[in-house]
Structure formats: C-alpha cells, structure tokens
Amino acid sequence: MQNPVGYRVDAETGNAVLTSIWAVMSSPTAVFAYLHTIPAAVLTASALVVGISVWHLGRRAGHETAFFRRSAQWGLRGMLVASLVTIVVGHFFGQVMTEKQPMKMAAAEALYDSKSGAGLSLMALAPFQKKPDRVDFEIKIPKLLSFMATDSFNGRVEGINDLQADYAKKYAPYEIAHGRDPAKAEYYPIVGLSYWTFRLMIGLGGFMLLFSIAGLWIARRGREGIAGMAARPWFRRLALATLLFGFAAHAMGWMFTEVGRQPWVVTGLLKTQDAVSKLGVSTLVISLSVFIALYVVITGIEVWLFARLAKQGPDPLSDDTPDEDAAAPALAY
C-alpha cells in the first residue's frame, strides 16, 4: 500500500485485483523494507542478549561468569554487524522513498521548499502544528541531505510546498469524485511527528552502533573487560537501557512509516478518510476497549514470562557434563 504495483482496478466493482504477485514481491519498496527490517530485528535480539548477559555478570560468579562473558561478546558482535547493515540498507531505502514517496521524506526532513544542495537537518524546533508555518531553530549539515537522497551534493530534493501544489493538481479528479473541493485538500502528514520519529529511529540505531563498538573495545581486555565493567551499576543500567532501545527504534520506524504516508491508506489511490468504515460511536468504543484490554493482558504476561526466564540464567552443569577445562574427546583406532 506504500507503493501499489501489480494490480488493476475492476471497472465494475471498483475493487483492486492482483495481477502479478512477482511485481509486488520485487517492488523496491517491499525489497528494501524487508532488507531493512531483518537486520534491525537481529540488532534488537543482539542487544537483548547483551543486556541480559551484562545484568547477570554484575551479580553472578563461578562458571556462569565465563558463560555470560562469551554471550555478551557474541551479542556485541551481532550488534555491530547488524547495526552497520541496517544503516547501509536504510540509506538506500531512504533513496527509494525519496523517489516513491517524496512527501514522506520531505516531512521527515521538515523541508518546505524544494532545494538543490539541501542540508541535512539534525534538529529543528517549530510551533506544534500539523504543518508549522515557520521553523524557529534548526541545526543542519550543509548539502548532506542532497547527497543522501540523490548521491550528489548539488542534487535537488523536493519540498513540502512544491509537492503539495503538484498533488493538488494531480489528485483534483479524486477529490471531485468524492465531492470535495480540491483546493482544500492536504497531501502532507503531521510534519513534527514524521520529523522526530525519523530522528529517534536513526538516533537509537546510531547509539546502539556506538555501544557495540565501545563494548567490543572493552572486551579486548580479556576476562576483566566486560565482567569488570558489569560490576559498575551505571554500565549495567546502560546495557539494560540499550536492551530497550532496539524495541523503541522499531516502534519509531513503524510510526514514521504509517504517519509519513498520510493522508493515504493506499498511496495515490485511497485516502484514509475514504477508507473508514461507517461505525457507531458505541461500537467503536467497545471494540477498541476490548482490543486494548486484550493486548495489555497479553503484553503483561509476555513481560512476566520473559523476565522470569531471563533471571534464571543457564541450566547448572550436571556431573556428566564436562566443563571447559575437561579434556576434549579424541578418536581412537
């Protein structure tokens, strides 16, 4: 729905009919979304391993220290590789979105006017409105946005105002068909929400990359590296926070994806306001309340089970289980 392909609209029913599943699966938007999500999931899982391992290292001794030291090191390696892959694929995914959904990326950068050699916005402050009429404060890296979007420091990046004018003409027949005034149609998402969810996603991912590099550097000190740092409360708290950052980055990415495509449910074909079912207020309140209550219960059970298992640690060694100092078996003839 972000980049609809491989379909036709039935002339009689008005329904979309699939014509090519391959066109859907090979769409650049689908391919890069998949390639971006999978390493991000590995990054989250690796951070989970590191956080739990460091927590245990700070409160355990004996053979379990060696176990959790190794698991922390492997988790850090996974974080490093997965974060690098996620960032690289994310760069190319951003270029695809700049081509397929330019309004989403313009909102993500709070870029109002089209510009060649556009700078990358690191932080911007503006009035709390859907589309602020001004930016009060902004820090930019000159020309970096153009390079990231077009591979050229002088490349042209489309802005919100110009895209709004283009879409007002392009989709005027759509608005008229739905009995609305094309001049009043808005084709941009909530700029502030798109801008900050995009930055939080990138910022959390970048922090996890730096944490993995620092952790692997500490691990070079051998037995006292990670285990020694885990004895410090601030490092344990930081590792546990990093454990949550992966989930938070996923949530921010999902919010950016769904908020940034507004006002469309199916980009260029169906607006959100036209896809809403005609439900009564009581029906809507009851259904949402049931769903919220159900998910709260499921989430609570999941967190309880997860915390319980994470606290247990590895199974104890039995008398028949050789430890790491035992002689390795050899073939006999």
Residue 90 has, within 13 A of its CA and on its CB side, a CA count of 22
Domain ranges, ordered by start, for the chain: 7-276, 278-312
Coil/strand/helix, residue 16: strand
Q: What is the largest CA-CA distance in the chain?
A: 89
Q: Could you tell me the pTM of the whole model?
A: 0.83
| DSSP β-bridge partners for residue 121 | 140
pLDDT tens string, the chain, 333 residues long: the values are: 788 888 888 888 878 888 899 998 999 999 999 999 999 999 999 999 999 988 888 776 556 777 888 888 899 999 999 999 999 999 999 999 999 999 999 999 988 889 998 898 888 888 777 777 777 788 889 999 999 888 899 999 999 999 999 999 999 998 999 899 998 999 999 998 999 999 999 999 999 999 999 888 888 776 567 777 777 888 888 988 998 999 999 999 999 999 999 999 988 888 998 888 888 889 989 999 999 999 999 999 998 998 888 887 676 655 555 555 555 555 554
Closest CA to 146 of 121, 116, 123: 116
User: Whole-angstrom Cα distance, residue 147 to residue 218?
Assistant: 35
Give residue-wise pLDDT tens across range 113-153.
Answer: 899 988 988 888 887 777 777 777 888 899 999 998 888 99
Task: Kindly provide the b/e burial profile for residues 274-290, where b requires at least 16 CB atoms within 10 angstroms of the residue's own CB.
Answer: eeeeeeeeeeeeeeeee
DSSP state string for 199-215:
HHHHHHHHHHHHHHHHH
Beta carbons of 86 and 245 less than 8 angstroms apart: no
Q: What angle do CA 22, 26, 29 make, to 5 degrees?
A: 135
At residue 194, φ and ψ (nearest 5 deg) are -65, -45
Q: Work out whether strand 7-9 and strand 264-266 pair parallel, antiparallel, or are unpaired.
A: unpaired
Q: Work out whether strand 7-9 and strand 16-18 pair parallel, antiparallel, or are unpaired.
A: antiparallel
How many residues are present in the chain? 333
